[in-house]
C-alpha cells in the first residue's frame, strides 16, 4: 500500500459547511486521477477534545458532525475521535503519510500549532482556505438574524465553483449535474443528461438552509429506498430569507454523496417516479429528525456567551 496516496485531513467540521467541503475536495484532488489505492481519511475531533482545546463547545454534536462528514462524497473514510493535535502515529496506524490542512493556523490549548510536529517531519500539505464562510460567520448570521436577499447570479466564478463541486468521489471525474430551472425547464434536460427514464429518477425540493445531517438523512433514505440505479435530483429554491445564499446552499448539497443532479430555482418539476418536499413527515423520521434551523438557533442562543 502506497501511503503517499492515502491522505488524512482533520478538523472540528462544525456545521460542515461548504468551506470544509472545499478543503476535503482539494485534499482529495491531491491524489492523482486514477490512483487505485487513493483514499482520503477525514478525522473528526470529539466534543471533549474541542472543548479542552478551544474553550467553547461546537454547535453540532460529535455524532452529527461524524455523520455529516461521512456523507461527504470525497471522504473515503471518516475517523471518529481524531486527536486535536495531529499525531504521526495515528496517521501511521491508518497508513497515511500526509495530513492536509487549509492555509490558516490552528492552535491547541497551549497556543501551539497543532500541526508543528507534522510540519517538522515534512508530512504536512496545505490547501487554500475558502474565503467568506466559517463556523463563526454562520453563528454571527444566526445571532444577528442576517437573512440573505441575494438571488443566484450564475457568473463565471459561480460556474467554476459549481463545476469543481460537481465531481465524483475521486474529485476529478464529472459526476453531478447542475441545471438552472428557469432555463432548463425541469424534466427533459435532466432525463437527457442521464439517459434514464423518469422511472429511474426521484426528486426532492427544498431550501436546504444550514444544510445539516437532518437533511442528509432524508436524501440517504430516498437513495436507499429506490435502489442503486436510481438517480436523485434535488431542486433548490433560491428563496430569499435563508441564512445561507443560494450558491452556498447549492455547494453544500453538491458535496453530499447521495445527490446526482441539482436543479436551481425549479420552475417545472421533473417527470420522475416520485417527487418529495424536504421535511415530508414520511422522510423526516430518522435518527436526526429532531434537527432543524430552530433547534440550531436555540443551541447558539443558549451558549451565546461562548461565541
Ligand atoms: N477550512 C477551509 N475553509 C474554511 C473553513 C475551514 O478550507 N472557510 C478548512 C480548515 O483549514 C481545515 C478544515 O477546513 O483544514 C477543517 O477546519 P475546522 O478545524 O473544522 O475549522 P476551522 O479551521 O476553525 O474553520 P471554521 O471556523 O469554519 O470551523
Q: Is the pLDDT of residue 267 over 80?
A: no
**Separation of first and last alpha carbons in the chain:** 43
127 with 228, same domain: the answer is: no
181 with 64, same domain: the answer is: no
pLDDT digits (tens, 9 = 90+) for 208-262: 999 999 999 999 999 988 888 889 999 998 878 899 999 999 999 999 999 998 9
24 with 124, same domain: the answer is: yes
14 with 73, same domain: the answer is: yes
113 with 172, same domain: the answer is: no
Report yes or no on 139 lying in a domain: no
CA angle, residues 244, 132, 255, in degrees to nearest 5: 60
Given 70, 96, 131, the domain boundary residue is 131
Neighbours of 121 (CB within 10 A): 13
Report yes or no on 144 lying in a domain: no
**Range(s) of the domain holding residue 72:** 3-131
Task: Tell me the CATH number at 274.
Answer: 3.40.50
Given a contact cutoff of 8 angstroms between Cβ atoms, the answer to whether 119 and 144 are in contact is no
95 with 169, same domain: the answer is: no
| pLDDT over 90 percentage in the chain | 70
> How far from 283 is each of 221, 271, 286, CA to CA, in Å?
7, 20, 8
Which of the two residues, 198 and 250, has the higher pLDDT score? 250
Task: Tell me the CATH number at 120.
Answer: 3.40.50.620
> Which H helix or E strand runs over 26?
helix 18-29
Report yes or no on 275 lying in a domain: yes
**Cell numbers standing for residue 184:** 432548463
Residue nearest ligand 1's atom 11 by CA: 102
Q: Is the dihedral of CA 213, 8, 28, 121 positive or negative?
A: positive
By C-alpha distance, which of 55, 256, 60 is closest to 142?
60
- Cα-to-centroid distance, 22 and ligand 1 (Å): 9
* Domain count of the fold of the chain: 2
**Cell numbers standing for residue 241:** 430569507
Report yes or no on 296 lying in a domain: no
Q: Is the CB of 19 under 6 A from ligand 1?
A: yes
Given 131, 147, 180, the domain boundary residue is 131
Q: Is the pLDDT of residue 187 over 70?
A: no
Choosing from 104, 105, 137 the residue with most ligand 1 atoms within 8 A of its CB, the one to mutate for a pocket test is 104
Choosing from 9, 22, 23 the residue with most ligand 1 atoms within 8 A of its CB, the one to mutate for a pocket test is 23
Query: Over the chain, what is the mean pLDDT?
Result: 91
Q: Is the pLDDT of residue 265 over 90?
A: no
**According to the model, what pLDDT value does residue 28 have?**
98
**According to the model, what pLDDT value does residue 283 have?**
97
201 with 277, same domain: the answer is: yes
Given 96, 131, 166, the domain boundary residue is 131
238 with 274, same domain: the answer is: yes
In which band, very low, low, confident or very high, does the pLDDT at 188 lie, cut at 50, 70 and 90? Answer: low
Report yes or no on 214 lying in a domain: yes
Given a contact cutoff of 8 angstroms between Cβ atoms, the answer to whether 14 and 59 are in contact is yes
Report yes or no on 140 lying in a domain: no
Q: Is the CB of 136 under 6 A from ligand 1?
A: yes
114 with 7, same domain: the answer is: yes
> Which H helix or E strand runs over 64?
helix 62-70
**According to the model, what pLDDT value does residue 150 have?**
73
170 with 284, same domain: the answer is: yes
> Which H helix or E strand runs over 233?
strand 231-236
- Tell me the average pLDDT across 12-25: 96
Report yes or no on 167 lying in a domain: yes
95 with 26, same domain: the answer is: yes
Residue nearest ligand 1's atom 4 by CA: 19
170 with 92, same domain: the answer is: no
3-state SS assignment for residue 190: helix
| Cα 255 from Cα 145, distance rounded (Å) | 26
Report yes or no on 151 lying in a domain: no
pTM: predicted TM-score of the whole model, two decimal places:
0.95
Which of the two residues, 83 and 175, has the higher pLDDT score? 83
**According to the model, what pLDDT value does residue 307 have?**
59
Task: Tell me which DSSP letter residue 167 carries.
Answer: B
SS3 per-residue string spanning 82-137: CCCCCCHHHHHHCCCCEEEEECCCCECCCCCECCHHHHHCCCEEEECCCCCCCHHH
| Cα 7 from Cα 124, distance rounded (Å) | 10
Amino acid at each position: 500500500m502506497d501511503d503517499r496516496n492515502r491522505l488524512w485531513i482533520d478538523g472540528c467540521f462544525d456545521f460542515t459547511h461548504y468551506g470544509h467541503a472545499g478543503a476535503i475536495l482539494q485534499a482529495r484532488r491531491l491524489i492523482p486521477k486514477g490512483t487505485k489505492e487513493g483514499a482520503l481519511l477525514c478525522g473528526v475531533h470529539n466534543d471533549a477534545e474541542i472543548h479542552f482545546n478551544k474553550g467553547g463547545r461546537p454547535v453540532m454534536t460529535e455524532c452529527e458532525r461524524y455523520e455529516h462528514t461521512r456523507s461527504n462524497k470525497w471522504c473515503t473514510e471518516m475517523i471518529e475521535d481524531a486527536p486535536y493535535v495531529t499525531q504521526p502515529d495515528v496517521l501511521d496506524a491508518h497508513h497515511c503519510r500526509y495530513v492536509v490542512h487549509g492555509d490558516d493556523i490552528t492552535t491547541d490549548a497551549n497556543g501551539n500549532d497543532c500541526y508543528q510536529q507534522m510540519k517538522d517531519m515534512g508530512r504536512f500539505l496545505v490547501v487554500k482556505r475558502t474565503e467568506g464562510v466559517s463556523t463563526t460567520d454562520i453563528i454571527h448570521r444566526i445571532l444577528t438574524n442576517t437573512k440573505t436577499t441575494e438571488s443566484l447570479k450564475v457568473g463565471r466564478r459561480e460556474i467554476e465553483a459549481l463545476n469543481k463541486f460537481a465531481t465524483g468521489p475521486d474529485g476529478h471525474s464529472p459526476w453531478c449535474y447542475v441545471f438552472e430551472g428557469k432555463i432548463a425547464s425541469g424534466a427533459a434536460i435532466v432525463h437527457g443528461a442521464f439517459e434514464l427514464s423518469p422511472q429511474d429518477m426521484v426528486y426532492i425540493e427544498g431550501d436546504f438552509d444550514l444544510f445539516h445531517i437532518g437533511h442528509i438523512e432524508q436524501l440517504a433514505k430516498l437513495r436507499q429506498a429506490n435502489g442503486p440505479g436510481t438517480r436523485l435530483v434535488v431542486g433548490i429554491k433560491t428563496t430569499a430569507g435563508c441564512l445561507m445564499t443560494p450558491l452556498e446552499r447549492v455547494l453544500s448539497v453538491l458535496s453530499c454523496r447521495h445527490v446526482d443532479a441539482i436543479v436551481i430555482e425549479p420552475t417545472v418539476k421533473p417527470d420522475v417516479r416520485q417527487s418529495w418536499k424536504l421535511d415530508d413527515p414520511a422522510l423526516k423520521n430518522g435518527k436526526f429528525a429532531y434537527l432543524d434551523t430552530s433547534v440550531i438557533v436555540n443551541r447558539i442562543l443558549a451558549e451565546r456567551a461562548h461565541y
